[in-house]
């Protein structure tokens, strides 16, 4: 049954291939949607799928107004699924082998100006526990170019190098070292020393850096709300800001100050630098010098 084949495949992705949970979730949505489409054609076995089934599915998605980036991801999910089945000798041929991936439309990332980011950060001031926490969160995201999932997963032991570096586990659990920078370092130290324990509520077993009022690690949605609320306070429209926009700002603003693009890609942990690279061997001294080009260092 194609449904059971899909679930087995998703388990293999997470356990053996090291794909991130977010990628696995996306692939699961794509493949289950494809399975529903096949069911409508009376096909429930993976071995019964032919190339025209896949082509018609993607054409239906396009007609329904699905974005090119989503259709590209679905094509990738289907290709990876059938390649896995073929490698495990569960199908005799791969019906996706000759597919053409839909062309992705180039979408420029949304970026705030340096002045807008500075206003947002300066608005998040105060010595109360929530202000110290929120300022540290925003400064760390912008100052280190973190994904929101990386910020949520950050633990006390990941603040290394006498508080000057962060050890980050990115997509596929790839590890990299990122300099914190002066502004983010000050904000993070102020939070850790001044208010984190009030959120931890005496729970010594909780090691995540950023905690909610209930003493729990933040979710992506929780961080998203804080970013939106703090931006709204200085008049930045909700459709212009998100945690990922701050990551884009990190890269864009450093480029504007003359930083090398490949160094920025490494600091961001982009897979195209080398998906097998281990970031524990980063030249931290060189990256620290490069990071001084960041406008809030």
* Active-site residue list: 147, 171, 244, 247, 270, 279
d(CA 61, CA 160): 47
- As a whole number of angstroms, the distance between CA 19 and CA 174 comes to 10
Rounded Cα–Cα distance for residues 255 and 249 (Å): 10
**Torsion sign (Cα): 193, 198, 201, 202:** positive
Q: How many CB atoms lie within 10 A of CB 49?
A: 25
On the CB side of 179, CA atoms within 13 Å amount to 21
- CB contact burial 216-249 (16+ within 10 A = b; e otherwise): ebbeeebbbebbbebbeeeebeeeebbbebbbbb
Q: Give the DSSP letter string of 236-274.
A: --GGG--HHHHHHHHHHHHHHTT--HHHHHHHHT-GGG-
C-alpha span between 120 and 141 (Å, rounded): 13
Cβ atoms of 62 and 71 closer than 8 Å: yes
CB atoms within 10 A of CB 42: 7
């Amino acid at each position: 049954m194609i449904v059971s084949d899909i679930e087995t495949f998703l388990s293999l992705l997470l356990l053996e291939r090291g794909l991130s949970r977010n990628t696995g979730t996306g692939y699961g949505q794509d493949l289950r949607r494809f399975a529903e489409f096949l069911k409508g054609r009376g096909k429930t076995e993976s071995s019964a799928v032919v190339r025209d089934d896949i082509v018609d599915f993607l054409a239906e998605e396009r007609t329904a107004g699905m974005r090119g980036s989503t259709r590209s991801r679905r094509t990738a999910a289907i290709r990876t699924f059938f390649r896995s089945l073929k490698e495990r000798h569960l199908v005799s041929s791969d019906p996706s082998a000759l597919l053409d991936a839909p062309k992705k439309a180039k979408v420029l990332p949304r970026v705030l100006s340096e002045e807008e980011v500075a206003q947002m950060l300066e608005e998040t001031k105060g010595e109360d526990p929530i202000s110290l926490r929120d300022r540290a969160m925003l400064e760390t995201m912008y100052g280190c170019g973190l994904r929101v999932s990386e910020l949520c997963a950050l633990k006390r032991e990941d603040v290394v190098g006498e508080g000057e570096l962060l050890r980050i586990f990115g997509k596929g659990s790839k590890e990299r070292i990122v300099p914190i920078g002066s502004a983010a370092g000050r904000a993070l130290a102020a939070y850790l020393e001044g208010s984190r324990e009030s959120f931890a509520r005496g729970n010594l077993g909780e090691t995540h850096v950023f905690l909610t009022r209930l003493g729990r690690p933040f979710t992506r949605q929780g961080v998203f709300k804080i970013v939106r609320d703090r931006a709204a306070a200085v008049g930045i429209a909700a459709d212009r800001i998100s945690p990922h926009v701050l990551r884009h700002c990190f890269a864009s603003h450093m480029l504007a100050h003359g930083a090398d693009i490949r160094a920025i890609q490494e600091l961001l942990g982009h897979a195209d630098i080398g998906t097998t690279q281990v970031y524990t061997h980063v030249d931290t001294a060189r990256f620290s010098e490069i990071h001084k080009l960041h406008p809030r260092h």
